[in-house]
Amino acid sequence: MIEAIKSASKIPIEFKNKSEDSNLANGAKGYYSPTTDQIVVNKDLEDIHTAKTLIHEYAQSILHKQTDKDRSQREIEAESLAFVICDHFGLDTSEYSFGYIASYANNDPKELKEILNNIQSAAHEMIEQLEPIYKEKSIMLTKEDIEHENYKLFENIARPILTGDAIYMKYSTPHFMDLNIEMFDENRYVMAHNYVLNGDLMADQDVELIVDKDKELLLPQTYQQDNLQFYEVADTPLKQNDV
């Protein structure tokens, strides 16, 4: 989705962190600047939030390049359009979008309905524009591309284990379970969040991985989450254990 928007946009899109942009430092996740006619998005966001923010600002660039609408109407239109587009392409942003829209929706029901009606044609046009690009990008994102990308992400947090300098690592942060990374066998690794319940060590979650260091590929093998009684093996449907 991110790549599709980047390809479709006729204006520059930049990804920056808070230290590189004062607007982001002040709390913005992203913004569209009518003055410079460009979009800026915080590059430290999670992927789904990056996609949603990018679509929101892309919508701003289409709907509000030249407008006398007040900020409340602009934000409702852009976030509603972002929600519709994300939903069409299978990205659920309702938990964020509904609260965001509500924070600006001080309008009476008739006015709000008129605002939402305004985005219908824009949503249709954007979907028609993005659909072929999205499909093309999806085809390009092959299974091996994903496995290679996952290897790079794993390497970022577990390099000492991959190089043999360690067999176990633990990451801790307040209010969250520790992330444990362990060498399980040759080229086989485990990443897990664990907690103790009634004296038993519970997995929430536990993922076993095989790493092909020569090809730089990471292949998931099993997924386990004890509190939901889920255990999944690669290339098999997810099954729920009998209670």
Question: Which tens digits make up the pLDDT trace of 75-120?
Answer: 888 888 888 888 898 888 887 787 777 777 666 677 677 777 777 8
What integer pLDDT is reported at residue 239 of this predicted model? 43
pTM above 0.75, yes or no: no
Q: Where does the pLDDT of residue 13 fall: very low under 50, low under 70, confident under 90, or very high at 90 and above? A: very high
Pair 104, 180 in one domain: no
Q: Looking at the DSSP assignment, which residues form a beta bridge with residue 38?
A: 33
**Whether residues 135 and 90 fall in one domain:** yes
Same domain, 229 and 218: yes
The CA distance from 1 to 157, in Å, is 26
pLDDT value at 243 more than 50: no
Which of 91, 120, 140 is where one domain is finished? Answer: 140
169: pLDDT confidence band, cut at 50, 70 and 90?
Answer: very high
- Of 140, 157, 188, the one marking the end of a domain is 140
Of the pLDDT bands very low, low, confident and very high (cuts 50, 70, 90), residue 6 is very high
**CA-CA-CA-CA dihedral for 93, 194, 188, 166, to nearest 10:** 110
Burial class (CB in 10 A: 0-12, 13-18, 19+), 124: exposed
Q: 114 with 171, same domain?
A: no
Q: Which pLDDT value is given to residue 157?
A: 93
Q: Kindly indicate the confidence band of residue 153, based on its pLDDT and cuts at 50, 70 and 90.
A: very high
Report the candidate in 103, 96, 84 with the shortest Cα–Cα distance to residue 50. 96
Residues 93 and 177 in one domain: no
d(CA 187, CA 225): 23
Assess contact for 205 and 193: CB atoms under 8 A: yes
Residues 46 and 97 in one domain: yes
Sheet containing strand 30-33, strands side by side: 13-16, 38-42, 30-33
Q: Which of 140, 165, 180 lies at the terminal end of a domain, its last residue?
A: 140
Domain match, 14 and 129 both = yes
What dihedral do alpha carbons 56, 101, 75, 45 form, nearest 10°? -40
- Token pair 């360690």: residue: 166
125/148 same-domain check: no
**Per-residue pLDDT, 242:** 34
Domain with 22, as residue range(s), is 2-140
Same domain, 66 and 132: yes
- CA dist 77 and 113 (Å) reads 11
Strands 168-171, 188-197: pairing is unpaired
pLDDT reading at 199 higher than 60: yes
Cα pseudo-dihedral 144, 149, 222, 197, rounded to 10: -170
- Domain harbouring 108, CATH code: 1.10.10
CB neighbour list of residue 207: distance below 8 Å, 6 or more residues apart = 190, 191, 192, 220, 222, 223, 224
Instruction: Give the pLDDT confidence score for residue 111 in this predicted structure.
Output: 67
**Same-domain status, 104 and 25:** yes
pLDDT of residue 108: 65
Structural domains in the chain (count): 2
| 173 shares a domain with 63 | no
Residues 61 and 168 in one domain: no
User: 178-184 — which CB contacts under 8 Å span 24+ positions?
Assistant: 181/157, 184/208
How open is the CA angle 16-20-21, to the nearest 5 degrees? 85
For 225-235, write each residue's pLDDT tens digit: 877 788 888 86
pLDDT value of residue 15: 95
Instruction: Give 231: exposed, middle or buried? Use CB within 10 Å, 0-12, 13-18, 19+.
Output: middle
